[in-house]
């Protein structure tokens, strides 16, 4: 398929971003994505402000590799002071922006009074944004749903974003489905409520000056191109995690960079020095390889190669030789 490049020079990194996903978008996955795209915005998993406050090992929560820039840290919480403190830490640590999670519907998050349930408490959200803005100079963005439970009218959504914007929010990432806080688990809340892009579109029409990114069900580069006809950015979650290789043309197609050919073997080879460094610091190869495995699909022998990678990398003391071998096998087969 032939894609048309956008003819622009400096494009904002948020034109295409890789969504925050717990247990998926850890630093190893982000380093993998950085081999695929230098331009798009990457997000951390959600980090709870309270956990940062009490943590005795903040490095573990906050550290990232220089190559991960541009990177947004996603924070969760409902306490303006703790969020302000976390925002300041994030700025000191070198993050490029801060995102507030108002979209997660999990019961655990709800019991902590943050995530999606805060869509019902716009005053609290506004004071969190205000305090974060005061404490740092980074952009503060908000990721939310089109509604929760019965608070899901167009008017309510608009009131919510207006309130965030007045408090200083710089950008909105809208997962275009509502969340039911009772009755659906987080996975169901990502599939059962229907996607309603038209509602986010209506909001963008009413608030053309707000920077709005669309999220939910964007599964291909073509879907992103379509979203960018209406919105300022497209955020991709599950498809980027499960099928990273289909995103290798992002930088040329979405950001107008010179086209570069990337193969699976090249991507794996580029990760090897990072993996070696991680192993030298007592890391386990599987933490990195569990993400790499998703690169190996849609080619002959994929199942066998995935199995080999999985079995060998899970062993204690697995070393980068396994990655080198798999990369060579892929290269020999023209991948």
Residue 77 interacts with ligand FMN (CB under 6 A): yes or no: no
Whole-number minimum distance, CB 76 to ligand FMN, in Å? 8
Site string for ligand FMN, 201-230 (x = CB under 6 A): --------------xxxx------------
Query: Which helix H or strand E contains 143, and what residues bound it?
Result: strand 140-145
In angstroms, the CA 98 to CA 59 distance is 17
Whole-number minimum distance, CB 217 to ligand FMN, in Å? 5
Q: For ligand FMN, which residue has the nearest CB?
A: 237
Residue placing its CB nearer to ligand FMN in the complex, 157 or 323: 157
Task: Locate the DSSP E strands across 208-281.
Answer: 212-215, 233-236
Residue placing its CB nearer to ligand FMN in the complex, 215 or 265: 215
Q: What sign results for the dihedral spanned by CA atoms 307, 309, 310, 314?
A: positive
Residue placing its CB nearer to ligand FMN in the complex, 73 or 295: 73
Among 236, 267, 305, 313, binds ligand FMN (CB under 6 A): 236
Query: Is 104 known to be catalytic?
Result: yes
Site string for ligand FMN, 43-62 (x = CB under 6 A): --xx----------------
In angstroms, the CA 175 to CA 183 distance is 19
In angstroms, the CA 212 to CA 183 distance is 29
- Residue 199 contacts by C-beta under 8 Å, 6 or more apart in sequence? 146, 154, 157, 176
In angstroms, the CA 5 to CA 1 distance is 13
Window 134-193: residues binding ligand FMN (CB under 6 A): 143, 175, 190
Q: What sign results for the dihedral spanned by CA atoms 129, 130, 134, 140?
A: positive
Residue placing its CB nearer to ligand FMN in the complex, 198 or 311: 198
Residue 20 interacts with ligand FMN (CB under 6 A): yes or no: yes
Among 71, 89, 98, 104, binds ligand FMN (CB under 6 A): 104
Burial class (CB in 10 A: 0-12, 13-18, 19+), 32: buried
Q: Which residues bind ligand FMN (CB under 6 A)?
A: 19-24, 45-46, 74, 101, 103-104, 143, 175, 190, 215-218, 236-239
Residues with catalytic roles: 104
């Amino acid at each position: 398929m032939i894609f048309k490049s956008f003819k622009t020079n400096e494009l904002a990194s948020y034109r295409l971003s890789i969504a925050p996903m717990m247990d998926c978008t850890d630093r190893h996955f982000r380093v993998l994505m950085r081999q695929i795209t230098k331009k798009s915005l990457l997000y951390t998993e959600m980090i709870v402000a309270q956990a940062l406050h009490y943590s005795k090992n903040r490095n573990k929560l906050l550290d990232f590799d220089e190559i991960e820039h541009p990177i947004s840290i996603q924070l969760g919480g409902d306490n303006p002071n703790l969020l302000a403190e976390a925002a300041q830490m994030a700025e000191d640590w070198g993050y490029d922006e801060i995102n507030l999670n108002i979209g997660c519907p999990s019961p655990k998050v709800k019991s902590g009074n943050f995530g999606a349930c805060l869509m019902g408490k716009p005053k609290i959200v506004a004071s969190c944004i205000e305090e974060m803005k005061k404490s740092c100079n980074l952009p503060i963005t908000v990721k939310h749903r089109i509604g929760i439970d019965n608070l899901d009218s167009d008017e309510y959504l608009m009131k919510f974003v207006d309130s965030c914007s007045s408090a200083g929010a710089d950008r909105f990432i809208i997962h275009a489905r509502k969340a039911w806080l009772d009755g659906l688990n987080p996975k169901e809340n990502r599939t059962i409520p229907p996607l309603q892009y038209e509602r986010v579109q209506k909001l963008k029409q009413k608030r053309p000056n707000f920077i709005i990114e669309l999220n939910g069900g964007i599964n291909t580069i073509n879907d992103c191109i379509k979203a960018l006809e209406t919105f300022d950015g497209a955020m991709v979650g599950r498809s980027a995690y499960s099928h990273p290789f289909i995103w290798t043309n992002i930088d040329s197609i979405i950001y107008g960079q010179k086209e570069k050919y990337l193969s699976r073997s090249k991507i794996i080879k580029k990760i090897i020095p990072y993996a070696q460094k991680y192993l030298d610091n007592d890391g386990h190869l599987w933490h990195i390889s569990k993400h790499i495995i998703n690169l190996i699909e849609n080619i002959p022998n994929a199942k066998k190669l995935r199995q080999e990678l999985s079995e060998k990398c899970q062993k204690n003391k697995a070393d980068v030789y396994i990655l080198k071998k798999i990369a060579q096998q892929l290269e020999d087969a023209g991948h």
